[in-house]
Structure 1
Amino acid sequence: MTIRPVPAAARLTGTAPEIPPHDRVRFRTAAHHARRLYPGCVGELLHRELLAYAEFGHLFDREALVPRLATEILACPLRPAHEHQPGA
């Protein structure tokens, strides 16, 4: 059996557009808001997704779901802390 090297993949040039700084801040703010709005696993998942999107996910989101999610989360008012307490 002869081992043949696999040709190298084309070099990536990094020409994808950067997300504007104000949008990056908006997604990070929505991430922190989501964690406070939805305590537990749901809030943690939303938090992680929004932060990942702010860093590099915007390059892969063709349906613009995460920007719509961020808008929806930021439109929700936070409940007072006593409403988060079980039995309150």
Structure 2
Amino acid sequence: MTIRLVSGPPRLTGTAPELPPHDRSRFRAAAHHARRLYPGCVGELLHRELLAYAEFGHRFDREALMPRLAGEILACPIREADGHQPGA
């Protein structure tokens, strides 16, 4: 009988590309904007997802959904409670 030692999975080298700082900042800005734009659970969910994407999720995104979402959120102005746009 031969005993074979089984090694574990290959070691991770940590070579995944990082998100550039200006892109990471853009996603964080979109996260905070989403929370103001959509108060409540929807805004909180968008906020958390965009922050997670900024930290490590960009490595798993194949369809580029989050960059499109960030663009849409940042393009939406925040409306005041009385219906007037800020600065108008």
Give the shorter-chain TM-score range: 0.7 to 0.9
1:13-42 CA distance string (max 9 Å, x none):
111111000000000000000000000000
Name the count of aligned residue pairs. Answer: 80
Query: What TM-score do you get using the length of structure 1 for normalisation?
Result: 0.84
Give the structure 2 partner of residue 39 of structure 1: 39
1:59-84 CA distance string (max 9 Å, x none):
0000000000000000000011445x
Give the structure 2 partner of residue 62 of structure 1: 62
Give the structure 1 partner of residue 11 of structure 2: 11
Q: Share of identical aligned residues, percent?
A: 81
**Alpha-carbon distance in 2 for matches of 1:40, 1:34:** 10
Structure 2: any 5+ residue segments left out of the alignment? 84-88
1:48 matches 2:44: no
**Alpha-carbon distance in 1 for matches of 2:25, 2:19:** 10
Question: What CA RMSD, in Å, does the superposition of the two structures yield over aligned residues?
Answer: 1.6
**Alpha-carbon distance in 1 for matches of 2:75, 2:49:** 18
Detail structure 1 runs of 4+ shifted over 2 Å in the superposition: 4-7
Distance 1:5 1:38, change over 3 A: farther
Greater helix fraction, Structure 1 or Structure 2? 1
Query: What TM-score do you get using the length of structure 2 for normalisation?
Result: 0.84
Structure 1: any 5+ residue segments left out of the alignment? 84-88
